[in-house]
Amino acid sequence: MKNLLEVEPRVKPPLDPVYRPAFLAHRQFAEAVKKSGKRVLLKLALEGSGGHVTVYSTQTFPEGHSEAETAYRHAERIVKFLLWQRGGAKLYVLGPISIIGRLKKDYAPGGARAFDADFMAKVYEKPSFEVVAVSEKDFPKANEASAPIGRHLDGCRIGFDAGGSDRKVAAVIDGKEVFSCEVVWEPKINTDPQYHFDGIDDSIRRAAEHLPRIDTIGVSSAGIFIDNKTRVASLFRKIPTDLFEKRIKNLYPDIAKKWGNVPIEVSNDGDVTALAGAMSLNDQPVLGIAMGTSQATGYVDDKGHITGWLNELAFAPVDYADAAPVDVEWSGDKGTGVQYFSQEAVIRLAPKVGIELDPKLSPGDKLKKVQELYKSGDKRPIPIFESIGVYLGYALAQYAEFYNLKHVLILGRVTSGEGGNIILQKAKEVLQLEAPEVVKKVQIHLPDEASRRVGQAIAAASLPVIKKS
């Protein structure tokens, strides 16, 4: 029987014949549900902190339908996407009872989605993640709010961008960059919190040497931060739990304290990517995607505000193929963004064109090696970048289902050099063929080389407000 959720794309990634994009699955599933004449409502609400509730509705097959298994798979993937896009520690579900029952089982301790449930409970400081069946009468109402972010350019500012393979810093005076640099480091494999403190401190020192004083420090970093404190961050995955609580949770406030207790503002690197785009374009909404050590995503809405959503699309599913690659290092799930929009994608695809990378190299150096081969005239990397471009095209069509989009900004080390242009061209080819409605309303931007590499640090500098005495 035909699998409604595994649709062969018309534009195929040269190195990934089994790839089955989520966007095409959603479209085919919706058409099948409509054609059946038996569609029912599936309504989802995610509750985060401070009464924040976000709601999403779709259609599915009714209880007992012959496609019940497909209906569950579709619902589970949508829930997974929404969790990492919007966040929440409590999921309300209105729909077929079998779907609700299986969601409860999968998001329970030891279930298939236990990683996601545990992560969300930790982020929102709840004892556990809950899945609750609810009637239409009792279904919670959406309660979403957005807040301004950055764009403060006065004074002497330092912007710091904590990447997984390098750290970038910029010194800015009244909106003008006077210094920037990047330094290779390896935060993901270091277990000593002092390594992290010293690395960040070194970058701040380098920028401080080019400023008459430090008025503020803005930080862009992968992870989830509340009140400038680290809640969850993959950069610190090797830090033991006790040391995380003692040293990493307050890492950035401690850095600010060392530098004269200056105002500091820490924001997710994806949101800073989107902010950088909104500032350079002087327009919004903007979805920012940074392809580096992982996939960092952020969103600035049509007001120029951030939404309070997680936007951690590295963990959101984009490929519904049963043989999709697994995120072994972190979530344990298959077909999620990190395997398609980060240096992991380049490393995964390189052997398929005969590029053998020294296992002793760091992931960042492996990416650099592939880019250097292409720059030197080796044509083997071309299908690697073309494959990533195909992934991006279908993913952007998928993202447009969940975001109000006008601009998409592509940044990050993976987009450096000519490879970035190949990625962009291939993504546009996919959208023209498969989702022309997206092409009509969304512009995709690949900034110049300097902005691609240090743009986030400069935007990060604009985060804090200088309080007037």
Q: Is the peptide bond before 285 cis (omega within 30 degrees of 0)?
A: yes
Query: 139: which DSSP letter?
Result: P
Which single residue is written with the structure tokens 């994009």? 21
pLDDT at 174: 93
Fold of the domain spanning 147-271: Nucleotidyltransferase; domain 5 (3.30.420)
pLDDT at 415: 93
Sign of CA dihedral 128, 131, 135, 141: positive
Q: How far apart are the first and last CA of the chain?
A: 71
pLDDT at 188: 85
Q: Are 306 and 290 in contact (CB under 8 A)?
A: no
b/e per residue 121-152 (b: at least 16 CB within 10 A) = bebbeeeebbbeebeeeeebeeeeebeebbeb
Copy the structure tokens of residue 266.
């820490």
Fold of the domain spanning 277-457: Nucleotidyltransferase; domain 5 (3.30.420)
Which single residue is written with the structure tokens 């069509």? 397
Q: Residues in the chain with pLDDT < 50?
A: 1, 450-454
pLDDT at 294: 87
Closest CA to 72 of 99, 94, 96: 99
pLDDT at 449: 52
pLDDT at 1: 45
pLDDT at 351: 98
Q: Tell me whether domains 147-271 and 277-457 share a fold.
A: yes
pLDDT at 234: 78
b/e per residue 11-50 (b: at least 16 CB within 10 A) = bebbbbeebbbbbbbbbbbbebbeeeeebeebebbbbbee
pLDDT at 2: 66
In whole angstroms, give the CA distance from residue 386 to residue 399.
20
Q: Name the residue ranges covered by the structural domains of the chain.
A: 38-133, 147-271, 277-457
